[in-house]
Amino acid sequence: MAVRTPTWRSVSLAAALSLVLSLSACGDDPDTLSHVAVDRTVVDAETSQTTTVHGYVPDIATPVGFDAGGGIEDPVIVAVDVTVSVGPDRTFSVRRGDFELRTSSGEVSAALTTVDRTLQDESLWPLTETRTGGTQRGWVAFAVDREAVDGATLVANRPDAMTVDGAGSLAAAALDVPLTPAG
């Protein structure tokens, strides 16, 4: 039995097929998602925490079997693209759980940690814990009613009785970043 040498055509076909299969396994093309640019920054003067909202994706489909809870009739996942910076002279961390989304109807939604795979399937990488002196960029997801997304506000919460080196115990605070389109 003779062994065939691969031809240019067979190698090219195999490479193209491999690329198509790889891309389809990564989820939807992020360029096809509806993205709204925001580009707003808030700074907590007491802690020097900086939160920048770059934009958001307003309508990611919920995964099969997902329960949004709270009586949401037509749930979607809103993913907010944020960069969080914590100054080097402060000893605390910022987590996804420190964020909430207040919808146009006034409902407040806590950050989701159960849809990381859904975000990753859309090539959106979840925000990880940001520690002292660190800066992280990532996505924070919320389940909301589709009709209440427009006019929503990201809320960056500072927990009650937070202790900051050199500043003692700080009261709770909430910094609002309206998700209104930039420009």
H helical segments located in 33-183? 116-121
> What is the mean pLDDT of the segment spanning 147-168?
80
pLDDT at 21 exceeding the cut of 50: no
pLDDT at 110 exceeding the cut of 90: yes
Q: How many CB atoms lie within 10 A of CB 33?
A: 16
pLDDT at 124 exceeding the cut of 90: yes
Domains of the chain listed by start with CATH number: 30-178 (2.60.40.4170)
DSSP string, 168-183: EEE--EEEEEE-PPP-
> What is the mean pLDDT of the segment spanning 107-125?
93
Residue 172: CB partners within 8 Å, gap ≥ 6?
A: 157, 158, 159, 160, 161, 162
pLDDT class for 16, splitting at 50, 70, 90?
very low
